[in-house]
């Protein structure tokens, strides 16, 4: 479903509506005695470079956070950027994020691609728990371009997958001070879940140049 809205391009910034969380530094030291826990997850894409985000929050909470790869505007060719996951037609990153104890849920996603902004049609909930002194693997999210014009993406298929065997060795290499024996795999599926959010709601926001 594509809606045409003649708004200023700055509206694109408001659509993301949540805090972009950063990866822990590679030299981070995590203690089993910590009062916080760590979330591990990965985000990847197949197709056109854009900004791909997964949103999460505490269950019942109003504050959203997101993990993101890429950008809605390409300042550098994707091949010049640093990727943890890279194969023909596939790029992505793994994330290690420190969070307070609690029950959380992945419950939305967002794509920014030039003049296009894309989100899910329906809500969904993939829950995970963060425990003090423990590390939770939350799974892998993979965006596949399904429609677009030129370099602009207007439709995606978002998959949720158990990529533990791929992601944990990357985490181990990237964060040498993390004790991977503390990792609990939260992903209970064996086959990927396709089309998270039951499809796409896409907004095209033309940019007007004033002379």
129 forms bridges with which residues in the sheet? Answer: 103
Confidence check: pLDDT of 51 > 70: yes
Structural domain range at position 190:
2-204
**Residue 181 C-beta-side C-alpha neighbours within 13 Å:** 2
152, 117 Cβ separation under 8 angstroms: no
Q: Is the pLDDT of residue 11 over 60?
A: no
Tokens read off for 166: 């791929």
Rounded alpha-carbon distances, angstroms, from residue 55 to 78, 173, 175, 193: 23, 26, 23, 17
Between CA 72 and CA 28 the distance in angstroms is: 29
Residue 168 lies in a domain: yes
Look at residue 209 and tell me if it is in a domain.
no
- C-alpha angle 196-162-93 in degrees, rounded to nearest 5: 85
Neighbours of 178 (CB within 10 A): 21
Q: What average pLDDT does the segment 130-151 reach?
A: 95
CA 71/CA 69 separation, integer angstroms: 7
The reported pLDDT for the residue numbered 72 is 81
Domain presence at residue 211: no
Check whether 100 has a pLDDT greater than 60.
yes
Domain total in the chain: 1
The residues facing 149 across adjacent strands are 152
Quote the Cα angle for 165-170-175, to 5°.
130
pLDDT at position 81: 76
pTM of the model: 0.86
Is 73 inside any structural domain?
yes
Domain-embedded: residue 34: yes
CB neighbours (10 Å) of residue 176? 10
Mean pLDDT, rounded, for 111-136: 94
In whole angstroms, what is the distance from residue 140 CA to residue 199 CA? Answer: 18
Q: CA distances (Å), 49 to each of 12, 27, 126, 148, in order?
A: 17, 29, 25, 12
| 210: in domain | no
Residue 40 lies in a domain: yes
């Amino acid at each position: 479903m594509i809606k045409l809205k003649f708004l200023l391009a700055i509206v694109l910034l408001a659509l993301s509506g949540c805090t972009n969380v950063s990866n822990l530094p590679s030299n981070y030291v995590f203690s089993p005695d910590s009062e916080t826990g760590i979330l591990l997850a990965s985000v990847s894409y197949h197709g056109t470079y854009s900004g791909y985000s997964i949103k999460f929050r505490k269950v019942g909470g109003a504050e959203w956070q997101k993990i993101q790869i890429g950008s809605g505007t390409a300042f550098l060719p994707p091949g010049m950027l640093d990727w943890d996951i890279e194969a023909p037609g596939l790029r992505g990153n793994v994330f290690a994020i420190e969070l307070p104890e609690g029950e959380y849920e992945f419950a939305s996603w967002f794509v920014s691609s030039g003049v296009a902004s894309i989100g899910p049609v329906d809500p969904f909930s993939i829950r995970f728990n963060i425990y003090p002194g423990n590390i939770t693997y939350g799974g892998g999210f993979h965006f596949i371009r399904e429609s677009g014009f030129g370099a602009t993406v207007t439709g995606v298929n978002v998959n949720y997958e158990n990529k533990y065997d791929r992601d944990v060795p990357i985490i181990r290499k990237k964060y040498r001070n993390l004790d991977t024996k503390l990792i609990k795999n939260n992903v209970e599926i064996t086959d990927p879940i396709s089309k998270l959010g039951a499809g796409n709601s896409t907004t095209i926001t033309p940019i007007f140049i004033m002379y």
